[in-house]
Each structure stands twice: as C-alpha cells, then as structure tokens.
Amino acid sequence: MRYLIIDDEHIAHKIIMEYCEMLPHMKLQKNCYSALEALEYMNTHPVDLIFLDLNMPKLKGFEFLKTLASPPKVIVTTAYSEFALEGYELNIQDYLLKPFSFERFLKAMNKVMDSSSHTTNSILETSDTTSKRIFLRQNKSHIQLEVDTILFIEAAGNYTKIISKNETITIRDKISGILESLPAKDFIQVHKSFAVATKYIKRIDGNRIHIENHTIPIGKLYKANLNSILN
C-alpha cells in the first residue's frame, strides 16, 4: 500500500514511519510538510493512503481534501478533536488524536485493510484471492490473524480471547474494541461476553449456539441479533 504523510511536524512523520515499518506491504511514497506539496506530488503519482494533519499553514487538511476529485483513503492525525464530525462527513477511514499509541494506530489500519479487501490495492493478498487480516497485540508481540479463521470471541475480564480454527489468542482489550476491527456483516454479538462468526454456526439449540466443538450461550438481551440469521 503506497502511503503519503502530510504533516508540518517532523516528529509526526517519524512516528508514523516507525509504525508503518512494523506492518507488511506498506511503502512510503513521500514525506510532505504542507498540503500544497502533497497536491503537487499527487498530480503525477498514485497514492493509496494518506496520513493527514489538519492544522497546517496556507491550506488546511480538510480544505485540501475537498480539492481532490478522487481522494485516496485517509487517516486523519491531529491534536484537535473538535473537527472529528466534519472528518467523518468527508468519509475518512479513521481519526487519530495525537499522541496515539501503536495499538490505536493498528485499529485504524485494520479499518483500512477491511475497506480495501475488495480492491486491487489491499494491503495483503494471496496468489489468487485477497484475505482479510488484522493485527492483534499479545504482550509485546503483534500477531497477524486471518479474519476468516475466527470462530468466536470471548470477553474475559480485562482481556478478550479470539478463538480461531488454529489457535486462541488472548489480548488486553475489550470485546467491543475487537468487534470494531472486524467486518460487521460477518460477526454478531450474542451475549455480553461472546460474539460469533455467523458462517461457522453449526446449529442453535434454545439458548445455545454450537460452533465446531464449542458451545456459546445466547444472552436474553441479544436474541434479537439472531433474527437476521433465523429468518
């Protein structure tokens, strides 16, 4: 994925570059320190993703976006939260408030990866098909996991377990945070502590869902979520 950093602060470039170097298939095209510099570059070079600061001299970030006929995917990186609503109206992928952690950066990149999964510019590809993947932090490691292998997710106190066909990964995050990184059409929350991949549901017996050799409870408040499957 070809990316561009547009920010008038050198330290912001350094942090984003370090984060991107930890991900596969990310290629820095150019460091731009003003929106005008970025406009000149994008007139002659294709870009898949831009990291965009808002408060820049001469041409502000959102003003710059409005000049683009076919903007690439955009992750806003800024210290100003009050512009978030306007950003989502411009169809940005995510809004990162400085300073942001690598974990938060990964969530933003997971959104980009998911929205790119049906295009030729997706971050990860196999030889004959595109595979959706997410990065999960486990202790000091970052594990890459294919979304299609996830069977279900289980909340366990301050941690969440992601149970896939091949392994169980336990991370320090809320179940809601994990679900935000996954395609909503493929996963459904059935209990305050459980969400399941709908395609792996083998059968539903009363208040129990069976997936392979696992049994998952259905919470009373979440039964309505199953209507789309049962009907």
What is the spatial distance between Cα 180 and Cα 228, in angstroms, rounded to a whole number? 20
Both 93 and 7 in one domain: the answer is yes
Residues 62 and 107 in one domain: yes
pTM for the full predicted model:
0.54
Contact 186, 198 (CB under 8 A): yes
Instruction: Classify residue 123: in a domain, yes or no.
Output: no
Q: Note whether 87 and 159 are same-domain residues.
A: no
Q: Do 103 and 183 fall into the same domain?
A: no
Q: Residue 8: which CATH number?
A: 3.40.50.2300
CB environment 118-156: b (16+ within 10 A), e (fewer): eeeebbbeeeeebebbbbbbeeeeeeebebebbbbbbbe
Q: What is the pLDDT, as a whole number, of residue 125?
A: 34
Rounded distance between C-alpha atoms, residue 155 and residue 163, angstroms: 11
**Do both 137 and 108 map to the same domain?**
no
Q: Does residue 104 lie within any of the structural domains?
A: yes
What domain range includes position 180? 133-230
Q: Give me the CATH number covering residue 209.
A: 2.40.50.1020
Q: How many independent structural domains does the chain possess?
A: 2
pLDDT tens, per residue, the chain with 231 residues = 899 999 999 999 999 999 999 887 899 999 999 999 999 999 899 999 999 998 888 888 888 888 888 889 999 998 877 655 555 566 788 889 899 898 889 889 988 877 655 333 333 333 333 457 787 877 767 788 889 999 999 998 888 999 999 999 988 888 888 888 788 888 999 999 999 999 999 999 889 999 999 999 999 888 887 876 776
Whether residue 120 is contained in a domain is answered as: no
